[in-house]
Structure 1
């Protein structure tokens, strides 16, 4: 089977949540390059708008936010072929279980687990009716490697997302919809760069020393650096393409070797 990589997603309509920065933006750009019509959603307008990418402002941590996105896409485009649930966030304080409130747990679960569940529920009926579609859940290696000091709710939510993704695949793959999970390790986004600057400023060390301290906290990254957003995006671009037509129900870890177990 021959594929035109530059145009392999022609006539496909794709949504990337959290698609205005970091890995989400890289994924949106990669799908656009492959010929897809790309929609992104986030709470705020992108800092550098791209008139080739459709933007919907929505807070997906709220049911009304996900409903808005589903309704607008159905109204404007009529269907969705590719859903990349990339949105993820952890804003809870450090200090372990004792400092976390119910509200912080709830907010983290809404953003990282229930938002994808609601979007899947909104778009799956159309995909099933058409007999085709691809859903990608962007999880995290913290589902297997939780950092309880600072991201306990986030790790729990992502572990739930991985389990849910597998269960959903078992249900809808026979109906023509592929469901896959991508679990990145540390990605060098703008937010990561700002974090390194804060660590460097507070410790009085260099950026390189700050980067090493983060890798040490993860137990080391054998590859020696964080992933680049484009590297994650390239793999997602492959997974949603016809070249990956037999892949479903699987979790793929992109972490430079961070997780030490199979």
Structure 2
């Protein structure tokens, strides 16, 4: 079969967690354009509906939320072919290790590591039975470049996610399932803007100064700007497509050259 941009994901069922805004929204729209039936999850219904996208309200940081999503998708669609574990984020205060409680550490790991683990556990048996499927874990360059002052638990959880993703790939690749990691750098989303505002408030500086501080902490972005959500979505769209059929077990960094090492 000749694949084109419009039909390469025909008859595929895809789930994008955290798909109501930012990079998740862009990924969902990219998969719809490629012909997939797309489900998104988030705690709250999107302000704008996207044609061809089904919505399930769920808090995936809780085991009950994961169970709800798995059950509804299997009941309504019968299977899942593509799982994009995109949900993640940091809401911890700035100030380094001393200001972080056990609750804040646990919350970060529930959202950024254990939610993907639980979803994988829910959908992998079906993928293995059919001997096909793709799982993408969206991590972060903070797995290698942690910002200790503002997002220490988030960075630690994403580092764990990268390691887990590689291990899972080694286990399930012989069973027909591809597992990949995408590690973006700074993406220009509403969430990143909010994080800058929190850092500015806690550090008693302007938002512009907070933004420059984060840029400096990252060592700068050689490309000169953060990524647009659509640029991350394009990478994900390729990785889940038949064109990437031999790719598995790899962490793809999309950061405008931020990480200074090869």
Q: TM-score, normalised by structure 1?
A: 0.94
> Are 1:3 and 2:3 matched, yes or no?
yes
- The aligned counterpart of 2:98 is 98
- The aligned counterpart of 1:40 is 40
Shift of 1:103: 0.7
Shift of 1:200: 8.0
- The aligned counterpart of 1:21 is 21
CA RMSD of aligned residues (A): 1.7
For the residues of structure 1 that align with 2:39 and 2:186, how far apart are their CA atoms?
25
- Structure 2 matches for 1:1-262, cutoff 5 A? 2-195=2-195, 203=205, 211-262=211-262
Contact preservation (8 Å) 2:135, 2:179: yes
TM-superposition CA deviations, 1:61-110 (whole Å, max 9, x none): 00000000000000000000000000001101111111111111111100
Shift of 1:144: 0.3
Structure 1 200/68 Cα, relative in aligned 2: closer, same or farther at 3 Å? closer
Specify the SS of the correspondent of 2:60.
Answer: coil
Q: Which moved more, 1:110-119 or 1:193-202?
A: 193-202
For the residues of structure 2 that align with 1:161 and 1:210, how far apart are their CA atoms?
27
For the residues of structure 2 that align with 1:137 and 1:236, how far apart are their CA atoms?
10
Unaligned runs of 5+ in 1: none
For the residues of structure 1 that align with 2:212 and 2:149, how far apart are their CA atoms?
18
Aligned residues: 260
Structure 1 65/199 Cα, relative in aligned 2: closer, same or farther at 3 Å? closer
Shift of 1:51: 4.3
Contact preservation (8 Å) 2:5, 2:33: no
For the residues of structure 2 that align with 1:257 and 1:29, how far apart are their CA atoms?
26
Q: TM-score, normalised by structure 2?
A: 0.94
Structure 1 122/257 Cα, relative in aligned 2: closer, same or farther at 3 Å? same
Contact preservation (8 Å) 2:20, 2:41: yes
